[in-house]
Amino acid sequence: MTAPDITGPVRPVTVPARPVLAVAALAAATVAWAAVPMSGARAGARPALIVAAACAVFSVAQLAAALLASRPGTARRDTGVYQAPLPGFIRRAWDGVRAVPWPQGLTVAVLGLEALHPARPWHTVVLGVVVLAFLLALHLAESADGPAVLRPQLPLIAAGLGLAVVSAGAAMLPAVSSGSGWLTVIAAAAAVLAAALALPV
Amino acid sequence: MLTAGPQRTVAVTWRLSSLARRLVTLALAALFLAVITRRAEFAGLAAPALLLLVPRQPGRPPSVGVTLAAGADQVTESEQASVLARITGHGEGTVRLRLLPAAWITAGPPALGADGWYRLPFRVRHWGLRPVGTLEVILHDRWRLSEGRLTVSLPAVTCLPLPARLESLVVLSKLPARLGEHAARATGEGTEFAGVREFVPGDRQRRINWPATTRRGTLQLNTFAAERAQVTVILLDVSTDVGTAGESTADLAVRAAAGTAAAYLAARDRVGLISFGRQVRWISPAPGRRQADRIMNMITFDSGDGEPLTSVSRLPNAALPPGALILVVSPLLSLRLVEALRELRERGFATLVVDVLATEPDIGSGLAGSRDRAMARLARRMWRMEQDAIRFSLRELGIPVVYWDGRSSLDEPLAPYTRRVMVSRT
């Protein structure tokens, strides 16, 4: 077996800034959309907003750090046997921060922040769209792929958004929005389904 | 064209992708809030995430085939090389490759060619036998809900030191009687004009200098300088290594030695090498490309098969033929080497030292008191004076010492000795 000739041009080394900016914009939009207006929110909205903002910042920092670490041209240096205490502590702390799943925290925080506001179905659906866009953009940035890789998922995303719109419309009906029992049962069944899907194979 | 290695089958460990974990979090959080708050819109918010999770199928390959091909077994410092990789058996999923570089390796971005091979360019920034690193293969299924990772160790590559530039050579006034390319003082069959003398029977008529013959009235003949080869022995001192890694005295010394050996061998001279490190190792002078490879191998690798430094009282005679030029590349920190240089001079060898000491000891950088700092300054001055004394004593013995900073061409420090022949006082 022979391998091809290697005498071709090599692409220049670049750092992808655009995906990070897109993710940062979507994270900021998610937090802002869930927060406004703060005046009508219940108690606990302010701590939830702080948590959501922190999760957004750390999500973007985590992504940027991951991209910088995997940047072509980055070489590991020998750190030596001995290391000063402060840089060692900072390095360990940063490694700990990077290990936290901040995007999941952001998702939970913004949904909680939205729940602390009075019922506003269309606003919630738009928030869902923005959160989904944030998660997909984050995945694309991490995997350094273009939006084209999500083409197989497009029908599913469209169907899901259609269901979300239907649910928002249903929530605006007075009988349903009052909180009847069947909605609770359906939600619980869906929770079981999601938990089953989450189990690793 | 390169020959690829055999295809290896590597098992893949699949797990939930980060996207799937986040979608599960979104769905569960939305459904939980729908139950708690009894707001239907939250249940709808979970719908896109749940639908995206539904297509996850278990039909993923348990293993993939990995074929590697090395672009080159041997590279020079800062020269670009490539590893080629081909991944097979991953089905409909996508493949992403990442080169996790080892120390002193700079990795470039991988690129997929039209032939299905990935090119992973890299550069080695320090000479020696260097492991390239590991190749990380990240596999995603079609729906991006499962992720498989595997790592493959890449073979090590030999990195030769970047030779220092040297275009003008130091040439002795007396050269051994071997055919070469340096014009000698003696007349011979070379091409460089040496003078005019009277014609004697037996001389070639084509060498008659007709203008001189016309002026003097008798037949005059052109004479030419003989062309001889020089014997050069490079004494590489790596017994001490100080300074920043990559620019240390040993790094500068091996680059200077590599450049010097290459330049003299290109001029068809006979070149030998004495490596003065943990052991004393040597290669007797010889010309040719094979000698260049032997010298570069000795410079690059410490095989540990020489004579221990402590048991060697003088440099080996076998590596020092009479009339050889001894080019010493050293930081002159080893007093044993300085003694060896004195002994070389006593034996009549023309010797020239390229000083590569580009750093100073870090004395007193962490001291706070003014008295301690003054003591540190004094210690540094004493160290400098000691170094100056060593160099002065060598010059007094007739051994020129030139300083090379490792960045410029070697021609600059050697210029006073390359513009004219170096007189050998044997």
CB contact at 8 A, B59 and B51: no
- Structural domain harbouring A130: 18-72+94-198
- Give the total number of structural domains in chain B: 3
* CATH code assigned at B250: 3.40.50
B326 lies in a domain? yes
B425 lies in a domain? no
Tell me which residues of chain A, numbers 24 to 63, contact chain B at a CB-CB cutoff of 8 Å: none
Q: CB pairs below 8 Å between A and B: how many?
A: 239
Give chain B's mean pLDDT. Answer: 87
Q: Is B149 on the interface with A (CB under 8 A)?
A: no
Same domain, B94 and B241: no
Q: Give me the amino acid identity at A30.
A: T
pLDDT tens readout for residues A50-72: 999 999 999 999 998 888 776 65
pLDDT of amino acid A7: 46
Percentage of chain A beyond pLDDT 70 is 71
pLDDT of amino acid B360: 84
Residue contact B48–A73, C-beta within 8 A: no
A8 closest CA partner among B159, B108, B68, B156: B108
- Give the total number of structural domains in chain A: 1
Q: Is B51 on the interface with A (CB under 8 A)?
A: yes
The predicted complex's ipTM stands at 0.83
B47 lies in a domain? no
A190 lies in a domain? yes
Same domain, B393 and B319: yes
Residues of A in contact with B92 (CB under 8 A): none
Residue contact A107–B22, C-beta within 8 A: yes
Q: Which of B7, B21, B22, B106 to mutate to test the interface with A (most CBs of A within 10 A)?
A: B22
- Structural domain harbouring B191: 182-228
Mean pLDDT in residue range B48-77: 82
pLDDT of amino acid A78: 47
Same domain, B278 and B410: yes
- B15 forms beta bridges with B147
B45 lies in a domain? no
Determine which of A46-60, A164-178, B65-79, B251-265 has the lowest per-residue pLDDT on average.
A164-178
B276 lies in a domain? yes
Same domain, B323 and B358: yes
3-class secondary structure, B17: coil
pLDDT of amino acid A68: 79
The confidence band for A8, taking pLDDT boundaries of 50, 70 and 90, is very low
pLDDT of amino acid A75: 47
CA distances from A80 to B105, B241, B273, B320, B365 (A): 17, 17, 33, 40, 19
Q: Is A84 on the interface with B (CB under 8 A)?
A: no
Q: Is B32 on the interface with A (CB under 8 A)?
A: yes
- Alpha-carbon span A85 to A98, nearest angstrom: 20
Nearest chain B residue to A145 by CA: give it: B96
A49 lies in a domain? yes
Q: Does the pLDDT value for residue A9 go beyond 60?
A: no
A5 lies in a domain? no
Same domain, B279 and B187: no
Q: Is B52 on the interface with A (CB under 8 A)?
A: yes
Q: Does the pLDDT value for residue B215 go beyond 60?
A: yes
B411 lies in a domain? yes
Q: Does the pLDDT value for residue A5 go beyond 50?
A: no
A11 lies in a domain? no
A3 lies in a domain? no
The confidence band for A47, taking pLDDT boundaries of 50, 70 and 90, is very high
Q: Is A197 on the interface with B (CB under 8 A)?
A: yes
Residue contact A115–B71, C-beta within 8 A: no
Q: Is A17 on the interface with B (CB under 8 A)?
A: no
Q: Does the pLDDT value for residue A129 go beyond 80?
A: yes
pLDDT tens readout for residues B177-207: 777 777 777 777 777 888 888 988 888 888 8
Q: If you write DSSP's letter for every residue of A164-178 in order, what string do you get? A: HHHHHHHHTSHHHHT
A133 lies in a domain? yes
B44 lies in a domain? no
pLDDT of amino acid A31: 95
Give chain A's mean pLDDT. Answer: 79
The confidence band for B424, taking pLDDT boundaries of 50, 70 and 90, is low
pLDDT of amino acid A4: 47
* CATH code assigned at B115: 2.60.40.10
B277 lies in a domain? yes
Same domain, B186 and B290: no
A86 lies in a domain? no
Residue contact B2–A10, C-beta within 8 A: no
pLDDT tens readout for residues B69-106: 877 778 999 888 888 999 998 887 888 888 888 888 88
Same domain, B204 and B119: no
Q: Does the pLDDT value for residue A84 go beyond 70?
A: no
B261 to chain A, closest Cα gap in Å: 29
Same domain, B247 and B370: yes
pLDDT tens readout for residues B102-137: 888 888 888 888 888 998 888 898 999 889 999 989
Q: Is A200 exposed, middle or buried (0-12, 13-18, 19+ CB in 10 A)?
A: exposed
A4 lies in a domain? no
Residue contact B14–A74, C-beta within 8 A: no
Tell me which residues of chain B, numbers 293 to 352, contact chain A at a CB-CB cutoff of 8 Å: none
Same domain, B238 and B224: no
Per-residue 3-state assignment (H helix, E strand, C coil) for B343-407: HHHHCCCEEEEEECCCCCCCCCCCCCCHHHHHHHHHHHHHHHHHHHHHHHHHHHCCCCEEECCCC
Same domain, B101 and B193: no
